């Protein structure tokens, strides 16, 4: 499990620039499915061998510069509450503004590590100007230039030094698969779990507080034992407004990173909204199995087309990763709840399946021969061999003479063909091209 680092500060001080610089330290994040910038506020970073998750609070504030200070205050409070360390960004050109002073006031009450990053320091004069930020009362500061990246090394050295040691997760001999129920507030996560647990009280053991107040329940069904984790049980701060998009996403980060399959519940009466999508892409980026449950389906006026139309709408939003099971359920009337669990078990099995190299070549090479990658600059790409990598999530490598010439559309074509022949429903796949 990773530490969480939040970048806070008022608008336009360069939070997103620093965020982008941090997450690009690991290629895996950069070359994830192209076109997916919808989850641009969360990523993973690594420095000096220490991995951590980064959250940019900036992307969640809607509106222009006259953004309500209350909104920023709420985000800072939430970051203080959930993150393990905080980078507070300020801007040397503008000096300490009243809003900076407000944020500093909140941060001074906190015992967590706080690093002040003074941005846009790109010459000696500005280096001198930065002294003013001692007045924030948060101790030493780090001068950086987000655009060129100067100074970020020192900031990161200090960051990984002050990140708290996480308790070692005791590796069990055969750890039970973890199915985490995620979704925005009021989508029916608790009702879903209560409906399941209420039916089979005898196969349940509650272990509360294991993952930061998310509730773990050991559950036994279909001759298959797994942990069901309810993120709705994560404590709610009275101060945090329920509808804040940032709230659901930040609260879900830890639970998602720590799960095998995410059961994403959406409220049928509200549709597949921005917040649901953020949580979906968070699970996809972490390469988790995903099942989507459209809850409260009993409240929807239906005609013969309803489920089909509704499902098509959701799949349009999920592009290019559309091979995800979508079920229509009702936690209230207990409609299709067991089917939902059964599907989650199937997705778990799909995620850990291994395809023999000989079989994989027999399937994929004729497909490639029939429709090879398009030639580029008069050069032809030849793919002679492919295999599944021995990784925890499905990753495939294709060996080619000119791997750099294979573009995203062809990767997606291969992924679609792969999904046609093998059942990877609900599971993100990585495809790589390497020099043979």
Q: Is 230 annotated as a binding residue?
A: yes
Q: Is 412 annotated as a binding residue?
A: no
Q: Is 271 annotated as a binding residue?
A: no
Res 248: pLDDT: 60
CA 109 to mean position of chain CA atoms: 29
Please check the confidence at residue 246 and state whether its pLDDT lies above 80. no
HSE-CB at 124 with a 13 A cutoff on CA atoms is 0
Q: Is 430 annotated as a binding residue?
A: no
Res 9: pLDDT: 86
Nearest to 13 by CA among 115, 147, 131, 112: 147
Q: Is 186 annotated as a binding residue?
A: yes
91, 119 contact by CB (below 8 A): yes
Query: Fold match between 3-162 and 178-352?
Result: yes
**Under CATH, to which class is 3-162 assigned?**
alpha beta
CATH code for residues 178-352: 3.40.50.300
In this predicted model, what pLDDT tens digit does every residue of 70-106 receive, in sequence order?
667 777 777 777 789 999 999 999 899 888 888 898 8
Q: At what angle are helices 15-23 and 152-162 packed, to 10 degrees?
A: 70
Domain residue spans in the chain?
3-162, 178-352, 357-435
Q: Is 121 annotated as a binding residue?
A: yes
Lowest-confidence segment of 139-148, 172-181, 203-212, 246-255 by average pLDDT = 203-212
Please check the confidence at residue 227 and state whether its pLDDT lies above 80. yes
| 401 sits in which H/E element | none
CATH superfamily of domain region 357-435: K homology (KH) domain (3.30.300.20)
207, 200 contact by CB (below 8 A): no
Q: Is 149 annotated as a binding residue?
A: no
């Amino acid at each position: 499990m990773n530490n969480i680092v939040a970048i806070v500060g008022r608008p336009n001080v360069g939070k997103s620039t620093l965020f982008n610089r941090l997450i690009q330290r690991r290629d895996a994040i950069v070359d994830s499915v192209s076109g997916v910038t919808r989850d641009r506020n969360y990523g993973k970073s690594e420095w000096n061998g220490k991995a951590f998750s980064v959250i940019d609070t900036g992307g969640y504030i809607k509106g222009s510069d006259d953004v309500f200070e209350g909104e920023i205050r709420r985000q800072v409070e939430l970051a203080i509450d959930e993150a393990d360390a905080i980078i507070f960004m300020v801007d040397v050109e503008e000096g300490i503004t009243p809003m900076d002073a407000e944020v500093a006031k909140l941060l001074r009450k906190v015992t967590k590590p706080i690093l002040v990053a003074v941005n846009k320091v790109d010459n000696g004069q500005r280096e001198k100007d930065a002294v003013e930020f001692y007045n924030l009362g948060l101790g030493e500061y780090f001068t950086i230039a987000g655009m060129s990246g100067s100074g970020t090394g020192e900031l990161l050295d200090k960051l990984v030094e002050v990140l708290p040691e996480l308790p070692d997760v005791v590796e069990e001999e055969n750890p039970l698969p973890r199915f985490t129920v995620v979704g925005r507030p009021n989508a029916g996560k608790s009702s879903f779990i209560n409906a399941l647990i209420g039916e089979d009280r005898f196969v349940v053991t509650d272990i509360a507080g294991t993952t930061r107040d998310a509730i773990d329940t050991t559950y036994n069904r279909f001759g298959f034992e797994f942990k069901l984790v309810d993120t709705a049980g994560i404590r709610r701060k009275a101060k945090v407004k329920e509808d804040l998009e940032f709230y659901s996403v930040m609260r879900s980060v830890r639970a998602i990173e720590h799960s095998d399959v995410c059961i994403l519940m959406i409220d049928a009466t509200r549709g597949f909204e921005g917040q649901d999508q953020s949580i979906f892409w968070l699970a996809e980026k972490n390469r988790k199995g995903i099942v989507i449950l459209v809850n409260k389906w009993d409240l929807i006026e239906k005609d013969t087309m309803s489920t089909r139309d509704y499902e098509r709408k959701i799949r349009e939003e999920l592009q290019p990763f559309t091979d995800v099971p979508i079920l229509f359920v009702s936690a209230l009337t207990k409609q299709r709840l067991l089917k939902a669990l059964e599907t989650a078990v199937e997705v778990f099995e799909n995620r850990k399946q291994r395809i023999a190299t000989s079989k994989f070549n027999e399937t994929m090479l004729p497909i490639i021969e029939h429709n090879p990658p398009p030639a580029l600059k008069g050069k032809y790409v030849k793919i002679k061999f492919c295999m599944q990598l021995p990784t925890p999530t499905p990753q495939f490598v294709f060996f080619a003479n000119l791997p750099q010439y294979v573009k995203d559309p062809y990767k997606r074509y291969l992924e679609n063909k792969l999904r046609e022949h093998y059942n990877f429903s609900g599971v993100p796949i990585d495809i790589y091209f390497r020099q043979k």
